[in-house]
Structure 1
Amino acid sequence: MGEIASLRAAGIVVLATVTSLEDALAADALGVDALVVQGPKSGGHRGTHSAATEPDTRPLDELLAAVRATIALPLIAAGGLTSAADVRRVLDLGALAAQCGTAFLRSPEAGTSATHRAALVDGRFTETLATRPFTGRVARGLRNSLRHNSMQSRRSAIPQCTNSPGRCGAAATRDGDAEWTRLWAGAGWRAGTDLSGADVARLLTT
């Protein structure tokens, strides 16, 4: 509470990502300025406040409505927003703004690896999965051999990668082997384009 007060006194706006009404209530109690309400279709890691927490699986629209009905803070909607229609919908539901990530993955400014970019348009990859094995936190990415195999075990995928030198992580990315690297992406990855970030932003707001 004291740290947030100090940040606010310095003119810094404090946001908290929340994935459930419980997260939202806890963040509100700490005195943050606004909430990023993150739905289950988001790419990469869900922003749970605890690694052990199961994120709310309600669609973003329902989660946003539940938080808005309970908490008076400004809300930013995130997770699965890849079109102007998506952005308009969450604004109509009361969000102050929309936060998009996956829509920009193929933009030149994104810094996405060539292997990752190629996978995003590769017909071999037909779905995303939200799993825990990579870091212990729920995270969504394209379903490939690494993600599929890691789901078959309760062990973290990290030691599995360590025991398979040259086939996982940085080595696989360097070699262009999309089957054995982490391909973070939200459920709406197919809507992405290779336009510049500025052009993608214009598409999302017109």
Structure 2
Amino acid sequence: MEFSSLFKLPIIQGPMAGGATTPELVAAVSNAGALGSFAGSLLAPAALRTAVERIRGLTTQPFLLNFFVQRTPTPSPDEIRQGAELLRPVWESLGWTELPQPKQWCEDFDAQFDTLLELRPAAASFTFGILDAVQVERLHAAGILTIGTVTTVEEALAWQSIGADAVIASGIEAGGHRGTFIGRQEDATLTAHELWPAVAQAVSIPVIAAGNIMNGADIRQALALGASAVQMGTAFLVTDESGIHPAYKQRLIEAEGQPTRQTRSFSGRYARGIENRFMRQMASVEAQVPPYPVQNALTGSIRAAAAKNNDTELMSLWAGTGVARARPMPAKQLIELLASELQS
């Protein structure tokens, strides 16, 4: 399968982990002529199979599965204690006497990868790291197009060198987690309009533009800067089919005047979201928190309590810089609107 055959419209719905990309959202996007993406990174193999079965029950069109490239960490008891201590002001504000210990740090990537090969979606995208050439060959042998997420030209060249079919060039404006895997995350500061043409010039494979793309005019601009397609996340978070918490969705809809910024305090990896009390409370120590996925697991109980209490001040409100321009509506209607704007 060729990259261009994945969609009729050059629009990919971003694969946002944590329940945002429901099978209904993925299928609605693909059925409307764009490419739906399902975030598999936080799911065990059995849950992945169930979700893909549901997607295939709703669409016969191509869709994409996304994963975090990572190894399961083995933090020391001291590291875990220190991480919990840094979070003390937050969990004490919930009336807790201690921070609950996570049951696991992350899902097993090798098991996810084997499941991906078994499920054979049209494409798979990866972030937080890079595969090796053998893994890419295995994906190709299973008929799966391989797409890497990059924040620098060097990362794009690395993915091209191992046989990737395309790269997602994610500018600093993009919501959610940064995909940086070469060098320090803090150093990957290129804006979308700097990164897209630089990557397009450097590689011979298709470039997918990401970062502050909210309407048809933004898509046209990305294509003019050398992209073959765009990936839009925040725009789809407010669609009817998005699976995010209702209070989180409402914060996005009312985001006018609310700043977004990057933080590593929720997960141990830099990610952009709407600023809230958790970010402010952790700002002085966020450089010290354990790396992803340990911090992500440590804050899991806090975020779960916040969801139960409808408390958006302790939720991770991932969103890009263009969040105030997000338009709530059914996903099919959003794709149709984007298509009409793209042609106007």
1:167-186 equivalence runs, <5 A: 168-186=302-320
Q: 1:106 pairs with 217, 238, 261, which one?
A: 238
d(CA) in 2 for partners of 1:201, 1:96: 17
| Cα shift readout 1:151-184 (whole Å, capped 9, x = no counterpart) | 121343769858xx8xx31111221111111111
Residue 103 of structure 1: how far off its partner (Å): 0.4
SS class of match (2:273)? strand
Higher deviation after alignment, 43-52 or 131-140:
43-52
2:247 corresponds to: 115
Distance 1:160-1:125 versus aligned 2 partners, 3 A rule: farther
Runs of 4+ with >4 A deviation: 157-162
Greater Cα radius of gyration, structure 1 or 2: 2
* SS of equivalent to 1:14: strand
Q: Normalised by the size of structure 1, how large is the TM-score? A: 0.89
Match for 2:311: what amino acid? D
User: In 2, Cα distance between the equivalents of 1:123 and 1:54?
Assistant: 25
C-alpha contact 2:207 2:228 (8 A) present in aligned 1: yes
Q: Is the 8 A contact 1:20 1:55 kept in 2?
A: no
Contact kept? 2:151, 2:179, Cα under 8 Å: yes
Q: What is the Cα deviation at residue 112 of structure 1? A: 1.1
* Cα shift at 1:25: 1.2
Counterpart secondary structure, 1:40: coil
Q: Which letter does structure 2 place at the counterpart of 1:174?
A: K
Q: Pick from 140, 145, 148: which aligns with 1:13?
A: 145
What is the Cα deviation at residue 88 of structure 1?
0.7
Alignment of 1:136-155 (within 5 A): 136-153=268-285, 154-155=287-288
Partner of 2:332: 198
| SS in structure 2 of the partner of residue 203 of structure 1 | helix
Counterpart secondary structure, 2:145: coil
Distance change >3 Å, CA 200–CA 191, structure 1 → 2:
same
Question: Hey, what's the Cα distance between the residues in 2 that align with 1:58 and 1:33?
Answer: 23
The normalised TM-score by structure 2 is 0.55
| Secondary structure, aligned partner of 1:200 | helix
SS in 1 for 2:241: helix
Deviation of 1:9 after TM superposition, in Å, equals 2.3
Amino acid at match of 2:159: A
Q: Give, in whole Å, the separation in 2 of the partners of 1:123 and 1:46.
A: 21
**Do structure 1's residue 83 and structure 2's residue 208 form an aligned pair?**
no
Aligned to 1:58: 190
**Separation of aligned partners in 2, 1:50 and 1:58:** 14
Cα 1:125–1:179 shift into 2, 3 Å:
farther
Q: Does 1:27 align with 2:159?
A: yes
In the TM superposition, residue 134 of structure 1 has moved relative to its aligned partner by 1.8
| Structure 2 residue identity aligned to 1:197 | A
Q: CA deviation at 1:192?
A: 1.1
SS in 1 for 2:186: coil
Aligned CA RMSD, in angstroms, stands at: 2.2
Instruction: Give the CA deviation at 1:12.
Output: 1.0
Please say if residues 102 and 189 of structure 1, whose CA atoms lie closer than 8 Å, have aligned partners that are also in contact. Answer: yes
- Equivalent pair of 1:19/1:55 in contact (CA under 8 Å): no
Aligned to 2:228: 96
How many equivalent residue pairs?
202
Decide whether the 8 Å contact of 2:266 with 2:299 is kept in 1.
no
Q: Which amino acid aligns with 1:181?
A: M
The sequence identity of aligned pairs, in percent, is 36
**Conserved? CA contact 1:125–1:142, under 8 Å:** no
- The C-alpha deviation readout for 1:118-163, integer Å capped at 9, x for no partner, is 211346961101111222211000000011111121343769858x
Change (3 A) 1:177 1:19: same
Residue 206 (structure 2) aligns with: 74
Retained in 2: the 8 A contact 1:52–1:137? no
Q: Call closer, same or farther: CA 1:145–1:198 in 2, change over 3 Å.
A: same
Kept in 2: contact 1:140–1:185 (CA 8 A): yes
Query: Measured at CA, do residues 122 and 51 of structure 1 come closer, stay the same or move farther in structure 2, by a change above 3 Å?
Result: farther
